[in-house]
Amino acid sequence: MRIGELSRRTGVSVPTIKFYVREGLLPAGRLTSPNQAAYDETHVRRLRLIRALMDVGGLSVAAVREVITAVDDPERPVHALLGEAAERMVPRYGGEPAEGEEGDGEEDGGLVEARERVDALIREREWRCFPGSLAAEALAVALAALGAVGHERFAEVLDDYADAAERVARADLEYVGRHVVREELVESVAVGTVLGDALFAALRRLAQIDASDRLFGGKGEKGTEGEKEKE
């Protein structure tokens, strides 16, 4: 198929497809003549992956490129890939939130303390991961941020969160073991990690709405009344 059909089938505009090729997210089409190229199902699939990661997972072009590079590299040992894939896609909150750069001694945002707490958690649960990994740091940053806004005691529910996280991780791996063939393993982990975050966040919100309605709302009727869709 030519680029026009690829565009139609994926809902991505032609210039945007060219942009993705330039950015290294999508392999170029196979040239059949100096100004004609053929695209196939792999391009359709890849394009859908890109859009899913960006639209639903909220990843940037650069992040998508990293994920895709890992997905495309056939050399990497599976387990390294899994760890890496999971590591690399800490969405946006992953970078350097520049939380303690003022360094005036007055505050470090409680990051040091939070890191200790994270290390302790990992030790307690005997999780096999580097304590200094990006995910561990992201966790510490989130904990420190909670402390900074006056919710340091939120850490008390950390264990409940960790239980839930273990359950989700177990479900993920079970799914992978059940349905995924070896060549698709890495992509599945990438997809599952990114889209799974969005999935879980949405579920959590629904469950929260339900729980808070039962606790605080629940003026007899069902459902949050009003609930104006948008503005």
- Kindly state the smallest distance separating residue 198's Cβ from DNA, in Å: 16
Which residues, numbered 9-28, are part of the site for DNA (CB under 7 A)? 13-16, 18-19, 22, 28
Candidate ranges 18-26, 28-36, 67-75, 133-141; the one touching a copy of itself (CB under 8 A): 133-141
Which residues, numbered 63-92, are part of the site for DNA (CB under 7 A)? 92
Cα atoms found within 13 Å of the Cα of residue 122, Cβ hemisphere only = 17
Candidate ranges 14-22, 32-40, 67-75, 156-164; the one touching a copy of itself (CB under 8 A): 156-164
Which residues, numbered 80-99, are part of the site for a copy of itself (CB under 8 A)? 80, 82-83, 86-87, 90-94, 97-99
Long-range contact pairs involving 113-120 (C-beta distance under 8 Å, separation at least 24) = 113/144, 113/147, 114/139, 114/140, 114/141, 114/143, 114/144, 114/147, 115/140, 117/143, 117/155, 117/158, 118/143
Name the strand (E) or helix (H) holding 58.
Answer: none
Q: Identify the three-state secondary structure at position 33.
A: strand
Q: Does 54 bind DNA (CB under 7 A)?
A: yes
DSSP for 190-203 reads: HHHHHHHHHHHHHH
Q: Quickly count: other Cβ atoms within 10 Å of residue 18's Cβ.
A: 14
Nearer to a copy of itself, 34 or 226 (CB): 226
Q: How do 30-33 and 36-38 pair as beta strands? A: antiparallel
- What, of a copy of itself, DNA, none, does residue 142 touch, CB below 5 to 8 Å by kind? a copy of itself
Instruction: Say which residue the tokens 């606790």 belong to.
Output: 215
- Kindly state the smallest distance separating residue 91's Cβ from DNA, in Å: 10
Taking the C-alpha atoms of residue 97 and residue 117, their distance in angstroms, rounded to an integer, is 19
- Kindly state the smallest distance separating residue 29's Cβ from a copy of itself, in Å: 20
- Kindly state the smallest distance separating residue 85's Cβ from DNA, in Å: 17
- What, of a copy of itself, DNA, none, does residue 188 touch, CB below 5 to 8 Å by kind? a copy of itself
Site residues (CB under 7 A) for DNA? Answer: 2-5, 13-16, 18-19, 22, 28-29, 31-37, 54, 60-62, 92
